[in-house]
Chains A and B, each alone.
Chain A
Amino acid sequence: MDIDLAPGQGLVVTGGRGSGKSSLLRAVMGLAGPGGDTTVFGARPGSPDALRRIGWAPQSWPFTYGVRTGEAIRMVAALKGYGPEEAARAMDEAGFTAPAKFAPLLEIEEARQASLACALIGTPDLLVLDDPWEFTQTDTAIHRALDRGAAVLVASSEPGGLLGILGVSITLKDGRRA
């Protein structure tokens, strides 16, 4: 599979369940899977320098038990070198309004917004969104990222309006480009 994502470009990866969309994104992030010849910002996937330039929104509930969601988002901000005010701004931009809730108690919509907030911390040069729900805030955040020259990579089985915003899409089937 050959994918080249330049600054200011968007790409939607679509496909059915188990087609390899999330695996592709995790490979880009260096979290799992074979890296192959992939380079992200000129470095191997998963290199700390490359990861610091990426905003990552994992799918489903990425938070552990016992952590308040706002606390988790502030932790992500702190590890990226930002203060709590930046975490608050990202939560606001993502439309997330339940920072005091523990992760298991989040509604699915809130979990997707919290995940998006993690990705919006700072000014990432690449947004990687795994199964984002299409809230107004999602569309706005993608528009803003593209406008400032960041690249946006999205995986979604039902991309809806995201196809129109990002323009380019590829479809996966059984881990290969269909």
Chain B
Amino acid sequence: MSPTSALSIISSVEFRAIIRRRWFLISIAVGAALIVTGTIFAGGRDGIPRFDALRAWTLAVEVIGGLVVSACLGASVANRDADGGWFGLQVATGTTRAVVTLGRVLGRVLVLVAIFAVWMALAWLCGVLIGNGSDWPLIVTGFAGIGNMLVVLTVAALCSVALGPVSSGVMGVLAYIVSLALVNMSSAAEADVIGTSWSGLISSLYFIFPRGIVSPLVADLQARDVAGLAAPRVEVNGNIVFIQPASWATVIWTLGWCALLALAAAGAMRRRALS
């Protein structure tokens, strides 16, 4: 059995197992219901406010719903199944722990992509129905959201090797907050609205750690302060900070970090006791 085949088998079993769970269906349904509600709300407006309203609702679903889903997915990579015998059953077939771990992470990444795909497709369809046409910037924002949520998922996955599900999920969400804060503070440093003594530290951290991926649409909504709670306007020391959209280098850097975190989780599982 080649590692690739084992990876494929484990990820597909994990994917099927998760999409049958009640919380998966509830997450999709709640997100879809909120997008439809946002569509009804947006449909009562004209022009730019109609675009903004649907985009803000969709963004809220993708950020808040995405955080919940990705934290839950990542936090369940190891702990309970490692203690309950399922992980051990997979390892006992002669499949290396690294491959089992990566298969489990990959299965969860596919679930995350599936959830976002449903939300993005529904938001696109709703936009067409109320006359917004094909809202491609909103689709791009969905892909950026997947990138951000991969950080949450992989950090939670790494933590799940040693911590319980709740702690692992919280760590994943904290990583997301830090990655966005670094982007915001870096923009503030570039705009010279924070002290120079902090600028060096923020720049260093920005270049080292994963960075939040801000789509051009979110940057525009934030600048006009119409993105809602999911992406409020950034103000530092009373100054409005305009966040720049993420470059391709930032996207690649953050996705590279996600791959590194998944590999770290696989490595950390080498010494973890299994049932």
Contact = CB atoms under 8 A, between A and B. Distances in A.
Interface of A: 26, 29, 31-33, 46, 48-52, 54, 56, 58-67, 71-72, 75-76, 78-81, 118
Contacts of B88: 26, 29, 31, 56, 58, 62
A33 B16 contact: no
B274 A31 contact: yes
A68 B201 CA distance: 51
A66 B20 contact: yes
B9 interface: yes
Contacts of A76: 89-90, 93
B92 A54 contact: yes
Contacts of A78: 1, 9
A67 B91 contact: no
A26 B84 contact: no
Given A26-B274, A75-B13, A79-B6, A118 B20 contact: no
B89 A65 contact: no
Interface in B46-75: none
Which of B1, B90, B92, B275 has the most chain A CB atoms closer than 10 A to its own CB? B92
Given A58-B88, A66-B20, A75-B13, A51 B93 contact: yes
Interface string B6-23: 100110010011111100
A60 B21 contact: no
18 contacts: A26-B273, A32-B273, A32-B274, A33-B273, A46-B91, A62-B89, A64-B84, A64-B86, A65-B17, A66-B18, A67-B17, A72-B89, A75-B9, A75-B10, A76-B90, A76-B93, A79-B90, A80-B93
A33 B91 CA distance: 15
A63 B86 contact: yes
B275 A31 contact: yes
Task: Give the 10 A-B CB pairs with smallest separation, nearest first.
Answer: A62-B85, A66-B17, A52-B94, A32-B273, A79-B93, A56-B92, A51-B94, A31-B274, A64-B86, A48-B94
B250 interface: no
Contacts of A56: 88-89, 92
Contacts of A65: 17, 21
A79 to B, nearest CB: 4
Contacts of B95: 48, 79
Given A75-B13, A80-B1, A118-B89, A62 B84 contact: yes
Contacts of A71: 13, 16
B81 interface: yes
Nearest to A50: B94
